[in-house]
């Protein structure tokens, strides 16, 4: 390639990278996979290395990070943050090893291998051991001040342990655990709010909030992976020693990091890390390999955009482009019709993906996904595969927009979306087999009756053979009805029977969840069970009785009332009771509940979901405890609800008072303070 051709190709690559960078960072609607983006970037880097005179300051290779927003005050980092050069194969690792040897005049002495966490890079500054500032990475030189938000993360110490250094700047990655991500999206869907594309976006969205109360309500973690600047600390010769030191100071350092002596061992680490990548509670997208000896790092130095002493090994992509063959719908237990994608099967992150979620009708509209589109499919760990969006640039014009079918594909009844409602529903009621199947599955599931062995496979068999029509039929099953079906021997039948037997005696709260009353999830069910103790009493409660239950809004009260009056539900409840299913809890003894919290002071801040502040305080006092309004040394725990008071949270962190969430608080109320250990 001559200079002229190179120049043209470079310009072309830059334009493509700018466009895709904009789609990714600004619009959050990428058209190509991360992998393809990296390929383009690598081509550009290679060409620029061959033709250094063609490098311009505005080339995408010269930028360290994303643009900084204007929502937060700018913070200049004490030391700039660089990117990392990527490698994709172990041969490239050997090539890096050779470069190191050339640079040092001898092989590097030891490496640190670390998981590359897929989250949001942040910088924490500690002055005299106190958290002085937290910032996003920004463009690498200047970031955004997010101190108030990051102070709410329990895994970030506000004060370092032991004898702290005079000044410490560390870098780390804030992430959202996978479970928390799914739970957040579920809640967002329920509240008809924006859905996050992946845990990284969810973490970024949670951190870049004007209201720290929102950040504090999100489950976020952090892994610290680098010292930016350390003054007035012990002399340390290696990166791995620095990490051990940070860990002693109380900073969260990933325990899977490993110091090894040569590249052969690095390769073993890479294989292990890739094999286990889905076993973790957070997303990783590769492994970072660093030269361990700090003197060697200094000698090797930096290129214009990355250190020479570190590289990132990227796992194979978990995003692929494939064809969207069709969009079909599921009908859930409430009749809600939700679209999903049927794909040309494609390998993503080590699994074949044929179906992917499109979340809901509005989301599908927003993304403008059409049948026959080329779409980006993403799979992240345990997270259900999803369609990220269409690749608009390769459309041929034959793609067909989708619309919700007029009739339910399972029962033929009309699908309707009442004005003002977010979801379309099948109107077939219990004549819809899909709805009945989902209803049975929900009834038997973990948070509800928890019937061991009653998954989709069993339910499908029972429905197909006409052995059950509704949940009560489950309790009328006889072993001999099942024996002899394929895969059903004495042992499996006996196990299922045992599971069913156990489910006859679930607490009322679970029965209420299992019945699937609209708006009645675990928290509301607990309130109702605590107030009424039996289903009979709940069902005959007047609207006033219901409205009088603390924490219960009008919408829920109406829903419970309507459910209780429905003849089908009355019949079902009778059938369940006749089948020997427990429909009441034993009533608690009157008087003070216990002295479980005798002599202990707790402070409640913010709003709790399941009870009001006053109620929480009376729960504490009825157990012999004291509910105070400010945190002191005597406080045994600070209960933090939504929009908690920042000063209380900081004070607690300063005094080393445990900060607990609502779930933990409820456990403390039933088990005492031992629940925290
Ligand atoms: S070290 C100069 N270590 O990857 C070295 N980075 O492409 C700076 N990252 O922005 C980075 N896990 O957000 C390092 N164990 C780890 C990492 C890690 C994730 C991210 C980091 C950085 C990006 C580099």
State CA 192 to chain mean position distance.
17
Q: Does any ligand 1 atom lie closer than 6 A to the CB of residue 288?
A: yes
pTM above 0.75, yes or no: no
pLDDT digit string, tens, across residues 228-266: 999 999 999 999 999 999 999 999 999 999 999 999 999
CA of 114, closest atom in ligand 1: 15
Q: By the 8 A CB rule, do 467 and 479 touch?
A: no
Q: Does any ligand 1 atom lie closer than 6 A to the CB of residue 168?
A: no
State CA 325 to chain mean position distance.
29
> Tokens in use for 55?
């490098």
Supply the residue whose CA is at minimum distance from atom 2 of ligand 1. 82
CA of 285, closest atom in ligand 1: 19
- pLDDT band for position 165 (cuts 50, 70, 90): very high
The 3 state secondary structure assigned to 131-179 is EEEEEECCCCCEEEECHHHHCCCCCCCCECCCCCCCEEEEEEEEECCHH
What is the sign of the dihedral through the CA atoms of 134, 138, 144 and 148?
negative
Q: Does any ligand 1 atom lie closer than 6 A to the CB of residue 312?
A: yes
- The best mutation among 141, 224, 258, 312 to test binding of ligand 1, ranked by most ligand atoms within 8 Å of the C-beta, falls on 312
> Tokens in use for 584?
């009441």
Closest C-alpha among 21, 134, 143, 26 to residue 76: 143
Q: By the 8 A CB rule, do 408 and 426 touch?
A: yes
CA distances from 435 to 34, 146, 427, 559, 643 (A): 38, 46, 10, 19, 38
pLDDT digit string, tens, across residues 84-104: 999 988 889 999 999 999 999
Q: Report DSSP state, residue 22.
A: I
CA of 312, closest atom in ligand 1: 7
Q: By the 8 A CB rule, do 110 and 296 touch?
A: no
Query: Could you confirm whether 651 is annotated as catalytic?
Result: no
- Ligand 1 center from residue 661 Cα (angstroms): 31
Q: Does any ligand 1 atom lie closer than 6 A to the CB of residue 324?
A: no
- The pLDDT of residue 68 is 39
Alpha helices of 23-121 — where are they, by DSSP H?
A: 34-50, 90-104
- pLDDT band for position 592 (cuts 50, 70, 90): very low
pLDDT digit string, tens, across residues 167-205: 999 999 999 998 899 888 877 776 667 778 788 989 998
Closest C-alpha among 590, 649, 659, 597 to residue 623: 597
User: Does 363 or 312 have the greater pLDDT score?
Assistant: 312
- Ligand 1 center from residue 115 Cα (angstroms): 9
Q: Does any ligand 1 atom lie closer than 6 A to the CB of residue 638?
A: no
- The answer for residues whose C-beta is within 8 angstroms of residue 581's C-beta and 6 or more apart is 472, 475, 503, 504, 511
- pLDDT band for position 415 (cuts 50, 70, 90): very high
- The best mutation among 37, 66, 169, 171 to test binding of ligand 1, ranked by most ligand atoms within 8 Å of the C-beta, falls on 171
- Ligand 1 center from residue 118 Cα (angstroms): 9
Choosing from 116, 290, 648, 651, which is the catalytic residue? 116
- pLDDT band for position 574 (cuts 50, 70, 90): very high
Q: By the 8 A CB rule, do 223 and 252 touch?
A: yes
């Amino acid at each position: 390639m001559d200079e002229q051709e190179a120049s043209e190709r470079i310009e072309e690559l830059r334009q493509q990278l700018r466009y895709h960078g904009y789609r990714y960072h600004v619009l959050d609607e990428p058209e190509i996979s991360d992998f393809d983006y990296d390929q383009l970037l690598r081509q550009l880097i290679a060409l620029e290395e061959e033709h250094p005179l063609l490098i311009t300051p505005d080339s995408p290779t010269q930028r360290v990070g994303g643009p900084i927003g204007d929502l937060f005050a700018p913070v200049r980092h004490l030391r700039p943050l660089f990117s990392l050069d990527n490698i994709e194969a172990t041969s490239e690792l050997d090539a890096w090893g050779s470069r190191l040897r050339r640079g040092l005049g001898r092989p590097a002495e030891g490496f640190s291998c670390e998981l590359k966490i897929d989250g949001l890079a942040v910088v924490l500054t500690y002055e005299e051991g106190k958290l002085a500032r937290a910032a996003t990475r920004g463009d690498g030189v200047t970031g955004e001040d997010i101190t108030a938000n990051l102070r709410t993360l329990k895994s970030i110490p506000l004060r370092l342990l032991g004898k702290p250094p005079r000044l410490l700047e560390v870098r780390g990655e804030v992430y959202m655990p996978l479970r928390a991500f799914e739970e957040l999206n579920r809640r967002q869907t329920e509240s008809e709010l924006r859905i996050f594309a992946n845990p990284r976006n969810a973490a970024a969205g949670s951190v870049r909030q004007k209201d720290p109360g929102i950040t504090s309500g999100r489950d976020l973690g952090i892994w610290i992976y680098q010292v930016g600047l350390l003054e007035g600390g012990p002399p340390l010769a290696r990166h791995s020693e620095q990490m051990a030191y940070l860990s002693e100071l109380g900073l969260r350092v990933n325990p899977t990091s490993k110091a090894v002596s040569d590249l052969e061992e690095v390769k073993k680490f890479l294989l292990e890390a890739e094999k286990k990548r889905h076993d973790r509670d957070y997303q990783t997208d590769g492994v970072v390999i660093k030269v361990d000896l700090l003197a060697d790092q200094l000698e090797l130095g930096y290129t214009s955009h990355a250190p020479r002493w570190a590289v990132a090994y990227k796992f194979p992509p978990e995003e692929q482009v494939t064809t969207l063959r069709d969009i079909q719908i599921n009908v859930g237990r409430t009749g809600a019709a939700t679209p999903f994608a049927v794909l040309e099967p494609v390998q993503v992150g080590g699994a074949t993906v044929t179906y992917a979620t499109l979340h809901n009708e509005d989301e599908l509209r927003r993304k403008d996904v059409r049948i026959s589109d080329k779409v980006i499919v993403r799979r992240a760990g345990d997270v259900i595969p999803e369609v990220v969006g269409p690749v608009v640039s390769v459309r041929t014009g034959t793609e067909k927009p989708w619309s919700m079918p007029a009739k339910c594909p399972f029962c033929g009844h009309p699908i309707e979306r009442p004005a003002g409602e977010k979801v379309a529903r099948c109107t077939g009621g219990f004549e819809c087999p899909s709805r009945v199947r989902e209803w049975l599955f929900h009834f038997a599931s973990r948070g509800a009756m928890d019937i061991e062995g009653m998954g989709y496979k069993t339910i499908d068999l029972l429905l197909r053979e006409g052995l059950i029509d509704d949940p009560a039929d489950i309790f009328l099953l006889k072993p001999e009805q099942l024996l002899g079906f394929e895969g059903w021997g004495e042992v499996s039948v006996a196990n299922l029977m045992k599971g069913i037997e156990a489910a006859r005696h679930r607490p009322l709260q679970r029965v209420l969840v299992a019945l699937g009353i609209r708006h009645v999830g675990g928290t509301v069910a607990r309130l109702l069970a605590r107030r009424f103790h039996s289903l009979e009493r709940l069902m005959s409660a007047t609207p006033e009785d219901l409205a009088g239950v603390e924490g219960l809004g009008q919408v829920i009260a109406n829903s419970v009332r309507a459910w209780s009056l429905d003849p089908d539900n009355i019949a079902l409840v009778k059938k369940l009771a006749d089948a020997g299913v427990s429909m009441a809890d034993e009533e608690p003894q009157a008087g003070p509940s216990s002295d479980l919290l005798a002599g202990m002071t707790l402070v409640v801040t913010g709003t709790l979901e399941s009870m009001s502040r006053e109620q929480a305080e009376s729960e504490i006092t009825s157990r012999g405890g004291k509910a105070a309004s400010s945190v002191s040394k005597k406080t045994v725990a600070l209960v933090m609800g939504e929009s908690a008071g920042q000063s209380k949270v900081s004070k607690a962190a300063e005094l080393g008072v445990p900060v607990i969430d609502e779930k933990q608080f409820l456990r403390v109320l039933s088990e005492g303070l031992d629940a925290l250990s």
